Amino acid sequence: METRAGDPGAFAHFDLHRVDSPAFVVDLAKLRSNLQILADVRDAAEIKVLAALKAFSMWSVAPVIGEYLDGVCTSGLWEARLAAEHYDGEIATYCAAYKPEDLEEICRLSDHVIFNSPMQIERCSAIIAAARARGDHFDIGLRVNPLHAEGEVPRYDPCAPHSRLGFPIDQLTEEHMELVDGIHMHTLCEQDLEPFKRTWDVLFDHLEPYFGQFKWLNFGGGHHITRADYQREELVEFLRDVKEDTGAELYLEPGEAVALDAGILVGTILDSHWNGMDLAITDVSATCHMPDVIEAPYRPAMLGEEQGEGDPVRLGGPSCLAGDVIGDYRLPVELRPGERFAFLDQAHYSMVKTTTFNGVPLPSIWLWDSESDSLELVRKFGYEDFRDRLS
């Protein structure tokens, strides 16, 4: 999988020795820039924009996100609690399947409760009715699967054959629509406007009979709106047309676009040797700190990587997993212990997916403002964080 992000921005001038290692460093100024772009699209199109906590849930910057966007979307009870405790605005919660014992609190915390199938809505009807009887105000939504694949990698495509995500649109009936207030879809991953438009063209024919029956239409995430070459003016025009056609309130739920190119992951070379090529062992682990490198898979961009000819160095993490390999790079520093390096565009997904497998320490979290050059240690993790995960 090829990522189209990796702009160093102000990090090109950041001294990597100002923080410990490994460390995530988030640029507040770049985050604000992304949020302003999203807010401008929101205002021009007259829609609502929610930040996806599944991608970026650094809640210390929640007040900043609240200055620009309309709220957040969450993926279950714990994210909904985090949203209620720290974020402003609306909370839209979607989960592939809810546990009945969680749903009561989710209904209390959320403005939109979005289900993956009409069958689960029906099974949970008593819980929904009881929540509304006690005064909770929330809409019910249904996630649909347009059955139109646009993803580069099938395992990351919610519309891949036999996907469990979303109710197949060709099975939707009038009886199902009577259960819901809104329709949700999420089909894109780091993509432009054209895949979005093609998906809507397919969905349009199925939903047209119900235009005027649903209050809102949520287009989920995966929209790379804050990337410099995204077609933002055309997006605004498209959204205004959809809003006019459907008569519904429209939502977007960007995740990656909120924190695109707003963070780096700083690491240190710990050791090196030769086995048919130069090898470096680092304190950054693909397995523990950047699992998408293995799962997607993809090759993260490196800050200042040398271009052109020259022998690459294969970087790997300190864990015992043979597959803990980040990739091959032409290093911008000498291949020797103690040298610092950084991977670009690591604020989204990497931060929320970290683990302590093998006892590998979690990266600390720093907040830097590239405009004022202020630098703050937000969180440092210790042995206790590893120990207390298990009994």
Q: What pLDDT does 3 receive? A: 67
Task: Identify whether 287 is part of a domain.
Answer: yes
pTM for this entry: 0.96
CATH number at residue 208: 3.20.20.10
- Spatial distance between the Cα atoms of 352 and 381, rounded to a whole number of angstroms: 14
Domain finish residue from 209, 232, 259: 259
Split into its structural domains, the chain has a count of 2
**Domain enclosing residue 18, as ranges:** 9-25+263-387
Pair 80, 159 in one domain: yes
Task: Identify whether 247 is part of a domain.
Answer: yes
Domain finish residue from 207, 224, 259: 259
Q: What pLDDT does 2 receive? A: 60
Pair 103, 122 in one domain: yes
Pair 334, 362 in one domain: yes
Task: Identify whether 33 is part of a domain.
Answer: no
Pair 226, 286 in one domain: no
Pair 161, 90 in one domain: yes
> Do strands 139-145 and 167-168 pair parallel, antiparallel, or not at all (unpaired)?
parallel
Pair 74, 212 in one domain: yes
| Angle formed by the axes of helices 125-133 and 100-109, nearest 10° | 40
Return the half-sphere exposure (C-beta side, CA atoms, 13 A cut-off) of residue 227: 18
Pair 146, 169 in one domain: yes
Q: For residue 255, what is the DSSP state?
A: S
- Spatial distance between the Cα atoms of 94 and 72, rounded to a whole number of angstroms: 11
Task: Identify whether 3 is part of a domain.
Answer: no
> CB-based contacts of 380: which residues, under 8 Å, 6+ apart?
20, 364, 365
Q: What pLDDT does 21 receive? A: 98
- Spatial distance between the Cα atoms of 280 and 99, rounded to a whole number of angstroms: 45
Task: Identify whether 242 is part of a domain.
Answer: yes
CATH number at residue 310: 2.40.37.10
Pair 248, 315 in one domain: no
Pair 129, 243 in one domain: yes
Task: Identify whether 123 is part of a domain.
Answer: yes
Domain finish residue from 259, 291, 312: 259
Task: Identify whether 189 is part of a domain.
Answer: yes
Q: What pLDDT does 348 receive? A: 95
Task: Identify whether 38 is part of a domain.
Answer: no
Pair 20, 79 in one domain: no
List b or e across 302-326, with b for residues whose CB sees 16 or more CB atoms inside 10 angstroms.
bbebeeeeeeebbbbbbbebeebbb
Pair 174, 120 in one domain: yes
| Mean pLDDT of successive 10-residue stretches along the chain, which has 391 residues | 77 98 98 98 98 98 98 98 98 98 98 98 98 97 96 86 96 97 95 96 96 97 95 98 98 97 98 97 98 93 90 97 97 97 97 97 98 98 95 86
Pair 54, 124 in one domain: yes
